[in-house]
Structure 1
Amino acid sequence: MTTRELRRVALDGELTIMTAAESKERLLTALPGSGGLRVDLAGVEEIDTAGLQVLLLTRREAESMSLPFELTAPAPGVAAVLALAGLTTAEEQ
């Protein structure tokens, strides 16, 4: 078995109810055929519960496929929301 690199997906702007459907599709379609997913949150300025749901769903789908899932580089405000939801970033692991 070969080791594949994590596929990097960068999100930016809002990760909110207004963008949840688009972000969900983008993240879930990136999983198949990858070695896992690294979601770069450096450009995310705002996140709400819909955005959290998208990240949690993507993590669950990655786990069901036995693929690694990482969140990286959130801004401080986004990191605080992630922490409240029990989501850790690659930098914290």
Structure 2
Amino acid sequence: MNTDIPQRIAIDGELSIYTAAEWKRRLDEVIDQGGNVELDLEAVQELDTAGLQLLIMAKKALVARGRQLQLSHHSAAVVDVFRLCDMADFFADPILPQQNPS
């Protein structure tokens, strides 16, 4: 497997307590395959703390293996939660626009 090209997964719908177990299973499978991972978040309609914890777990699992997690195409729901929880720095996420509070 070419580790330079990340495995891309598009998350669709909810990334919440109701879907976290299924997404954890899917992410664990991808992480176990090796290489970097890109999560396309464009179609995420809802993100709660369970979903956020899942993203944190994926990042930590990949970093522990010397690999990277890239987030792309953030939906408005994802941007809102990342801003509310101040998570952009944790994910080293350059896609989120920096805004000064007015």
Q: Which moved more, 1:45-54 or 1:31-40?
A: 31-40
Residue 55 (structure 1) shift: 0.4
Letter in 2 for 1:72: S
Letter in 2 for 1:48: D
Q: 1:13 to 1:61 in 2, by over 3 A?
A: same
Q: Measure, in 2, the Cα distance between the counterparts of 1:3 and 1:14.
A: 28
Q: Which runs of 5+ in 1 are unaligned?
A: none
Q: Percent identity?
A: 34
TM score, norm. by length of structure 1: 0.86
Residue 3 (structure 1) shift: 4.7
Q: Measure, in 1, the Cα distance between the counterparts of 2:13 and 2:21.
A: 14
User: Does structure 1 residue 53 correspond to structure 2 residue 53?
Assistant: yes
Q: Measure, in 2, the Cα distance between the counterparts of 1:11 and 1:69.
A: 14
Residue 72 (structure 1) shift: 0.9
Counterpart secondary structure, 2:34:
coil
Q: Measure, in 1, the Cα distance between the counterparts of 2:35 and 2:83.
A: 25
Structure with max Cα Rg: 2
**Structural RMSD (CA):** 2.0
Aligned length: 92
Contact map agreement 1:5 1:34 (CA 8 A) in 2:
no
Counterpart secondary structure, 1:91:
coil
